Amino acid sequence: MTSEPTHAPGTADTFSVGGEFRVTRIGFGAMRLHSGPGPERKAAIAVARRAVELGVTLIDTAHLYGWGANEELLAEALFPYPDDLLITTKVGVTRGGPEGWAYDARPGSLREQVEQGLRRLRTERIGLLQLHRLDPKVPVAEQVGALRELQQEGRIGHIGLSEVTAAQLAEARRTADIASVQNRYNLFDREYEPVLRACEAAGIAFLPWRPVAAAAASGEVSAVAAELGATAPQVLLAWLLARSPVALPIPGTASPAHLEENLGAADLRLTDSQLRRLDHHGPASSA
């Protein structure tokens, strides 16, 4: 009896970010880790350390997460950092505005935010620095150019973007090499499909945030999970790994059990027919 073709990412499946950092394709988003005082902080530190113990080599944070407190938490948990660990952080927003944050990617502000990030992360070089949002009041060339200057000075290694369109990515690449894009993307939300394909064509890492949204709301996802003896979030992460070789999902959690569950998705084998069913179950591609 011939078995059906499968896609098997495997735990050894990796991607080279910027041609320098070879990371495992399922990373860890640190946003949910509690960075205040007390028992929850100790638990958060334990989760960050456990992620590294389990082989995670890409951890995502941002200035916005607790206004630097999340970066300080990761430094407390993991410094001195393992040689193979890439911690990426994001800048480009500051306190203010109706949502509690406001765009601020003026060159001087970006430089100050990067210097603060270096101090909080206890490092002399941020391997991957991502622009959290493009500032609509500042020309893209000025924003990316400021990061390129910091790159030339050795303060950051590689430049990334977040929540950009394919046209904005192309515009930014006219000023500097872009190593990563972090956009919202999952089975049910493929608005940025053109960006994923642009990243794939250029060999740019694509970090989907909110990768397992609405995992429990889908009958088809649950059916595939039951067939595989897996969970719905694991199926959605495995789908992302199969979707493109440049996809590096960064699921976040404050739970050790959920962390292990998420990382277990790397070993799932989705058959071709299961992938087709999932593809058709989500929204139509916007490409």
Catalytic residue among 65, 103, 185, 192: 65
Percent of the chain with pLDDT over 70: 93
- The confidence score (pLDDT) of residue 281 equals 78
Q: What is the pLDDT of residues 93-138, one digit of tens each?
A: 999 878 888 999 999 999 999 999 999 999 999 999 999 999 999 9
On the 0-12 / 13-18 / 19+ scale of CB atoms within 10 A, 113 is: buried
Q: What pLDDT band is residue 15 in, cutting at 50, 70 and 90?
A: very high
Cβ-proximal residues to 210 (8 Å cutoff; 6+ apart), any chain: 184, 185, 186, 189
Average pLDDT over residues 17-36: 96
- The confidence score (pLDDT) of residue 100 equals 87
- The confidence score (pLDDT) of residue 215 equals 58
Domains of the chain: 13-212+247-252 (3.20.20.100)
Query: Backbone phi, then psi, for 124, in 5-degree steps?
Result: -95, -10
Average pLDDT over residues 222-238: 95
Residue scoring higher pLDDT (12 or 188): 188
* Contact of 161 with 181, CB cutoff 8 Å: yes
- The confidence score (pLDDT) of residue 96 equals 84
* Contact of 181 with 158, CB cutoff 8 Å: no
Cβ-proximal residues to 54 (8 Å cutoff; 6+ apart), any chain: 259, 260, 263
* Contact of 180 with 131, CB cutoff 8 Å: no
> Radius of gyration (Cα) for the chain, nearest Å?
19
- The confidence score (pLDDT) of residue 201 equals 98
Measured distance CA(280)–CA(19) in Å, rounded: 34
Residue 140 in this model has a pLDDT that exceeds 50: yes
- The confidence score (pLDDT) of residue 177 equals 98
Average pLDDT over residues 271-283: 89
How many other CB atoms are found less than 10 A from the CB of residue 217?
10
Task: Name the 3-class secondary structure at 46.
Answer: helix
* Contact of 176 with 202, CB cutoff 8 Å: no
Q: Is 65 a catalytic residue?
A: yes
Q: Which region holds residue 135: left if phi is over 0, alpha if psi is between -120 and 50, else beta?
A: beta
Pairing state of beta strands 93-95 and 101-103? Answer: antiparallel
Q: In whole angstroms, what separates CA 176 from the centre of its chain? A: 20
Q: What pLDDT band is residue 154 in, cutting at 50, 70 and 90?
A: very high
How distant, in Å, are the alpha carbons of 51, 57, 129, 147, 155 from that of 60? 12, 10, 10, 18, 18
Percent of the chain with pLDDT over 90: 86
- The confidence score (pLDDT) of residue 217 equals 62
Residue 56 in this model has a pLDDT that exceeds 90: yes
**Own/partner pairs, 65-69, CB within 8 angstroms, 24+ separation:** 65/30, 65/31, 65/35, 66/35, 66/36, 67/95, 68/116, 68/117, 68/120, 69/35, 69/36
